[in-house]
């Protein structure tokens, strides 16, 4: 199975290439922003014609949530119209198309984990453009898998964000000797290594086209996430819970965006490990513990 990855040097792309390298059933090839400018829609089919594949995986995204709020045109181009262009290439090549989406397509009013059948209602430009990308992808390529992920942490770090949440907490803990972290927003912390593994499992098991929530099991507030990080590295750094009002942001965020991975576990006959286990494995790989 020949797999082409867009955004190959990001957190997920890096772990996806590594996971593919551990399997003799796939042949991986990756493209970065230097290889393909996703804002230039006309070049997408021209560039991709030189990279025939059985599966095209789109790990690219304009994901600086607050910046996106005032750059709607760019966000629509990268998160929606470029996705449509990629899906069209996949459809024309007879390839499967895998698009990575987000928990931010939901409004956060649920009180139990969101399933794939729940209706999206994004509260930010980022969430709205990602949902539009989902819609255009599924409309354009019949064999599309949408993988919604959340609160990612991977060894490559978050491109353009100065590191993922884990690295940011460790840096701030060193700089300030304490942390204040929001405790009224609940989500699904997820390792990109987990996402990479289950993405390939879905492909190898020829899972039906559709939407899958691919997250580690369990959930947490950002405060609980940060507390677990500090506990695992063994630092004597106090972590204080605060409300989101103390850290106002330009873009709204869902207060509750926990995703259910039940459909995923049914499709691959395996459930992702708890996020605490995935976090410990990540910290070991990063040589923090």
CA R_g for the chain: 18
- Between CA 171 and CA 176 the distance in angstroms is 9
Degrees (nearest 5) of the Cα angle 120, 105, 218? 100
Residue with tokens 């907490």: 169
Distances in whole angstroms, Cα of residue 187 to Cα of each of 104, 105, 217: 10, 13, 11
Q: How far is CA 254 from CA 48, 66, 104, 112, 237, in A?
A: 35, 14, 7, 13, 28
Q: Is 126 known to be catalytic? A: yes
Q: In degrees rounded to 5, what are phi and psi of residue 58?
A: -100, 105
Select which of 62, 104, 114, 126 is catalytic: 126
- Distance between CA 207 and CA 202 in Å, rounded? 5
* Euclidean distance between the first and the last CA atom of the chain, given in angstroms as a whole number: 36
Nearest CA among 193, 145, 140 for reference residue 166: 193
- What amino acid positions are annotated as catalytic residues? 126
């Amino acid at each position: 199975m020949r797999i082409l990855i867009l955004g190959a040097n990001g957190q997920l792309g890096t772990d996806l290439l590594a996971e593919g390298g551990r399997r003799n059933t796939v042949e991986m090839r990756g493209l970065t922003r230097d290889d393909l400018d996703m804002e230039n829609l006309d070049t997408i089919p021209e560039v991709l014609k030189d990279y025939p594949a059985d599966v095209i995986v789109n790990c690219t995204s304009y994901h600086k949530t607050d910046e996106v709020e005032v750059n709607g045109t760019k966000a629509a181009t990268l998160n929606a119209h470029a996705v449509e262009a990629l899906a069209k290439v996949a459809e024309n090549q007879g390839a499967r198309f895998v698009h990575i989406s987000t928990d931010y397509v939901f409004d956060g009013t649920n009180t139990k984990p969101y399933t794939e059948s729940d209706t999206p209602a994004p509260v930010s430009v980022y969430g709205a453009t990602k949902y539009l990308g989902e819609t255009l992808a599924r409309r354009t390529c019949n064999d599309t898998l949408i993988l919604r992920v959340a609160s990612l942490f991977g060894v490559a770090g978050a491109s353009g964000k100065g590191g993922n949440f884990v690295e940011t907490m460790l840096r701030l803990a060193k700089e300030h000797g304490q942390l204040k972290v929001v405790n009224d927003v609940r989500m699904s912390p997820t390792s990109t290594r987990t996402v990479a593994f289950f993405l390939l499992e879905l492909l190898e098991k020829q899972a039906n086209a559709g939407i899958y929530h691919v997250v580690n099991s369990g959930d947490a507030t950002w405060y609980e996430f940060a507390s677990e990080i500090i506990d695992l590295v063994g630092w004597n750094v106090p972590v204080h819970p605060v409300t989101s009002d103390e850290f106002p942001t330009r873009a709204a965020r869902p207060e509750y965006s926990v995703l259910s991975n039940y459909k995923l576990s049914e499709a691959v006959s395996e459930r992702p490990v708890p996020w605490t286990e995935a976090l410990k494995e990540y910290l070991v790989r990063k040589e923090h513990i």
